[in-house]
Amino acid sequence: MQSLVQWGLDSYDYLQNAPPGFFPRLGVIGFAGLIGLLLARGSKIKKLVYPPGFMGLAASLYYPQQAIVFAQVSGERLYDW
């Protein structure tokens, strides 16, 4: 419980002192998720795949180095599995 409270306090402090450009990026990534929800009408599988996919694509535009590392690690884990 204490670690959960500490995580909440750390998150609050980070959002109070966010780096420049953080909130516009967060808005674009969130908007991409909403677009994914709108395009995923009809299928439950699409509703599970499109929003995270669009959000991941938007996030990879803003954070390319982290996206490359994430893709490499995910690929290695998938290959090992």
CB atoms inside a 10 Å sphere around CB 40: 18
Residues 47 and 32 in one domain: no
Q: Is the pLDDT of residue 34 over 90?
A: yes
Least Cα distance to 24 among 54, 58, 1 occurs for 58
- Do 36 and 48 belong together in one domain? no
Same-domain pairing of 28 and 5: yes
| Same domain membership, residue 54 and residue 26 | no
| Residue 22: domain span | 1-41
Task: Say what the pTM is.
Answer: 0.74
Do 4 and 14 belong together in one domain?
yes
Number of domains making up the chain: 2
For the cut 90, the answer to whether the pLDDT of residue 5 exceeds it is yes
Residues 46-79: tens digit of each pLDDT: 889 999 999 999 999 988 899 899 889 988 998 8
Question: What would the DSSP string read from start to end of 66-79?
Answer: HHHHHHHHHHHHHH
